[in-house]
Amino acid sequence: MAAAVEHGGALARAVAEYGGEPADWIDLSTGINPNPAPLPDLPAKVWSRLPDEDLFERASDAAAAFYGAADGIRPLPVAGTQSVIQLLPFLFDGDVAIMGPTYEEYRARFQRAGRAVDIISGTDEISDRHRLVILVNPNNPDGRVMPRAAVLELADRLAVRGGHLVVDEAFADLYPEHSVAGFAGTRPNLIVFRSFGKFFGLAGLRLGFVLAAPAISSAMRDGQGPWAVSGPALELASLVLRDHALRIRIEGAIRQRHVALCAVLEEAGLKITGGTPLFVLVDDDRAQALHSHLCRHRILTRKFHYAPRWLRIGLCRNGDEESRLRAALAQYSEPV
């Protein structure tokens, strides 16, 4: 059995190890907007009925407009993109190449299915035996971005020999110029995953969308089984994704908090080596000790077993949390 994959957001584990109550902690270990979108009023029937096809279609229509889907391509609502990552080994055969290091669940799921997986650092390492390529764009955790033209060129290169390209755009809401969501399905071998919860700060809904050719979407829907996405999640998505003013406000707030976080880290002398507007990546030879120090101050960050110099740090909710982070950093091995 493969070892469990580490994830951010393991606050209960940190509380058990370092003490305090969950409310005492600032969780900076994820790449989720810490200021969630306001919840609209939902009709009572979406809580009491199984999610009918009309809810599914409305959420799909809203996602098509929001993500710029091509004509005739209907985004598939899924129970978080994790739910379809787990299906990939059963939908595609052949060897797999994953642009890494990246979100570890891709590697883990294929290896658990007994599949050959190569972690590659560049597209020049993709060989003819790779029938499926996984690209997280922008990447988690280092924020690496592959320009749209290069992604489409890669998809076309794979198509010549019957290969497929999965592009995970979980953090692409603030990178519309690089998104290939509008090309998914029109290139039959291009599949795009989008996250709802990260940008809108509603990860607890467990909602995402797949943009792909109809045959692939149908196979993924069938693989999830009936009623995989809850009625409240579908209804909420159909309302929130249509609210353009809300999107602009959220984007502005995220960028403001990102600038403030970078200022705190730079003031502490930490080297920012990558990231996205929703998180930054710090490279420091004291990263593991700094993680523990911040935990003792009830601040949770994300460390990496495969890169012990790295810390991923998500956004603070407000200036008070940034002040707590600043004070904690100032107390670490004067000066940090």
Contacts of 204 (CB under 8 A, 6+ apart): 197
pLDDT of residue 3: 54
User: Percent of the chain beyond pLDDT 90?
Assistant: 96
Beta-sheet pairing, 208-211 with 95-99: unpaired
Contacts of 110 (CB under 8 A, 6+ apart): 88, 89, 96, 117
The CATH number for 11-30+245-330, chosen from 3.40.109.10, 3.30.70.2860, 3.90.1150.10, 2.130.10.10, is 3.90.1150.10
- Upstream peptide bond of 141 is cis (omega within 30 degrees of 0): yes
The CATH number for 49-242, chosen from 1.10.287.130, 3.40.640.10, 3.40.1190.20, 3.40.50.300, is 3.40.640.10
Q: Where are the domains of the chain?
A: 11-30+245-330, 49-242
Closest CA to 137 of 147, 125, 127: 147
Q: How open is the CA angle 6-201-152, to the nearest 5 degrees?
A: 75
Residues in the chain, pLDDT under 70 = 1-4, 333-336
| Residues forming beta bridges with residue 26, ordered by sequence position | 299
The structure tokens listed for 311 are 């810390």
Distance in Å from the first CA to the final CA of the chain: 40
Q: If DSSP states are collapsed to H, E and C, what string results for 220-277?
A: HHHHHCCCCCCHHHHHHHHHHCCCHHHHHHHHHHHHHHHHHHHHHHHHCCCEEEEEEC
Which strand (E) or helix (H) includes residue 117?
A: strand 117-120
Distance of alpha carbon 232 from alpha carbon 23, whole angstroms? 27
Burial class from Cβ neighbours inside 10 Å (0-12, 13-18, 19+) for residue 332 reads middle
pLDDT of residue 45: 93
